Structure 1
């Protein structure tokens, strides 16, 4: 058994960790203590003589040495900023984030001889670091526990219970699982209380490659996670089911990217600007919304910075595309079958707009197709080869099939083509880090999809 406690100083990692180790008759590893042993001096001396970079290097060595350890591990909040540390801590383990309000943390660490990490006054430093680390903390954790008003014993009890749910909630959970045709997920969770669940949320979503990809990645990193499908016509019911399971993350797809936002506790600034969420992270009973679609559009088009772009479509994927293209300083026009929809989207971002019949391939350096047309089993294409000019970059966000009718038409016209699999790959890199705190490369994602 491997239990990992992470969090900011003053959240109770050491005291809770010692209690857990004693109750479970397991060894206790405190990474700060192991760092001091390795260095032969105290942590304040490490910082004073060599600086934070040297401390982080020692921390990396210590965490790596615990990759295959069995026991209770307590490690500082800064450790999980390094994805390599997160991968080692997660290997065959369960990660608990201990948190507390900033004022409680400040009170607990007052008088500490640990040097500050910024030039800010102590209270301001705590708030600033907590804000900066929030995304990394949530991603690295399986379970989040607020220790602010709890004793170490109470927190240890919560860790041991692993955030179990009540009998009434279990009955509701099972009813929803039956409706979703996912009764086997309930059986899996009941057999393995430490199992974490992630899912693609959409209607339809049977075509999604996410279960294949994520389950292979979870296995590669030794994580007790299972990725499934939540296919249902109501986003609210999907979010409710997620709250009744040990769910860590949802990949949100058509038609819920906008609707799901009203069911979340917090939406990050990029998703709010786009008006769509494709990633939901759950931690500590709260739901956080993000958008990684725009990163999936942006990365393959970075070489076209400053060009003229046309986005076909006016939905959530189109909004992410417009946001990405504007971040690359492109001149963007939105075209849609319903001109009013194109106008509404374009006005949000101060772009030009029009109907699909206004498309002129010769005016575009980049064309991004952001509608479902051409997704299997649909064999249609909004444009033909005669609509394009050679040299245009055509990016079809549809990824099933890998070569869509639109991509075939663009190739015939001599265009540079980017298949939707590339958007999927790059957004998955960002999404996996949000869900797990682990960084993967596009190359690894492509390998896992083969």
Structure 2
């Protein structure tokens, strides 16, 4: 039996529900807080009072690293999700269930069993603030969600048992989803794999899905990367392609099969914003999202592109930059470049779009043919020109000077026509693979709470 790991803020019922659940499965129940107290010989309040939270978290990390690998139910502390090392250990070969409750219910429960405060705020304000602060991590911890606000511990445990035995997606929805996938341009082996996972007689009801959403998206390396990472971290997931001209259709199919999340690519990074329930601050300011995380009935939109763009440019703070393009990726690039205090000029074939993005992001803009008069330190290509099967380049070779750094955000092929021309001109070059690596690393953390070393991603892509 895979381990069952219960996550959630304190007061959501992890210990009481876990005890009943373990009894029903005829396996032991372990509570990480209890194990910490046994290991240290002190109560949790004493550890917080005498040593502080940092020491408690170190003890918690040590205990979690030694937990049994299977045939057990584990209840975790409310803050365990903030540590990627804990998430790597707890998510391996496990079914992870996030328990939630409304704030009033948690307040009443904690009043009966007080614990050390985490802030200087009154209890109800502290609960709201801490849950909000951990929202991303709680969403990342969830394979399944159970709201315990209005259920008995027995009812909640029965709900979890049902999820484990039957899953959450009824047969008609699974069959309809497979028909949709079967009509999409997926290779035959992937069709067969999805048929087995969605409608096969021996399907594992606990297997969850993620995918890349685009039109087209056959060029994406995300399925290769994520499926290999699932093996590396022993996650019961499958990553596929959601290819359709309508992002609303894709989102509906993803919800129908209870997908964990989507990596969003061309041309949907702006349109997907209208299809999610919550949007993080960076995506809101950029006006585009490339990541959707589904958790507890809600869809959360994020943008990790800007982090993937900014990471390779950390040493270029204050540079004079030209940004080619004015779409969703360009918006993320503008956000990343201005965050590094660069002087940015946006060029686009449609000047109006360049002007709109410039005004939105606080940059300058010019017509496309103004490039040669700017003499930038850095050129960032955020258009799709050069993406397979296109063999074009947004700039001519004679426009490139050896003093320039050229960063092409296109990553298929790894060496685009622009990068080839820039290298011939003696420029410093940064390929789109760097963006893919760093933004995918951030996506994986949003999906699972695990921090993948960039070296591991490079090995998979090599």
Residue of structure 2 equivalent to 1:405: 417
1:173 to 2:177 alignment: yes
Is 1:107 the counterpart of 2:111? The answer is: no
CA gap of 1:120–1:68, structure 2 versus 1, over 3 A, is: same
Q: Map 1:78-117 onto structure 2 (within 5 A).
A: 78-117=79-118
Asked if structure 1 preserves the Cα contact closer than 8 Å seen for 2:178 and 2:198, the reply is no
Shift of 1:174: 3.8
Unaligned regions of 5+ residues in structure 1, if any?
none
SS in 2 for 1:201: strand
SS of aligned partner of 2:283: helix
User: Which 4+ residue blocks in structure 1 deviate beyond 2 angstroms?
Assistant: 165-184, 360-363
**1:329-344 alignment runs, 5 A limit:** 329-344=341-356
Residue ranges of structure 2 left out of the alignment (5+ in a row) = none
Q: By how many angstroms is 1:169 displaced?
A: 3.2
Normalising by structure 1, report the TM-score. 0.97
Partner of 2:336: 324
Q: How does 1:270-289 map to 2 (within 5 A)?
A: 270-289=282-301
Q: What do the CA deviations read for 1:310-365 (whole angstroms, capped 9, x no partner)?
A: 11001000000000001101111110011111111111112111221111275211
Tell me: CA distance 1:243–1:173, structure 2 relative to 1, closer, same or farther (3 Å): same
Contact 2:70 2:93 in 1 (8 A): no
**Cα root mean square deviation, aligned:** 1.5
* Residues 173 and 157 of structure 1, relative CA distance in 2, 3 Å threshold: farther
In 1, distance between residues paired with 2:170 and 2:227? 28
Question: Aligned in 2, Cα 1:361/1:299: closer, same or farther, shift over 3 Å?
Answer: farther
1:164 corresponds to which of 156, 165, 168: 168
**1:308 maps onto 2:308 in alignment:** no
> 1:60–1:359: structure 2 CA closer, same or farther, 3 Å change rule?
same
2:215 maps to 1:203:
yes
TM-score by length of 2: 0.94
CA shift for structure 1 position 101: 1.5
1:37-436 map, 5 Å:
37-66=38-67, 68-162=69-163, 163-180=167-184, 182=191, 184-190=193-199, 191-360=203-372, 363-436=375-448
Deviates more, 1:423-432 or 1:144-153: 144-153
CA deviations on 1:189-218 (whole Å, 9 max, x unpaired) are 450101011101101111111011101111
In 2: Cα distance, 1:38 partner to 1:52 partner: 16
The 5-angstrom pairing of residues 14-33 of structure 1 reads 14-33=15-34
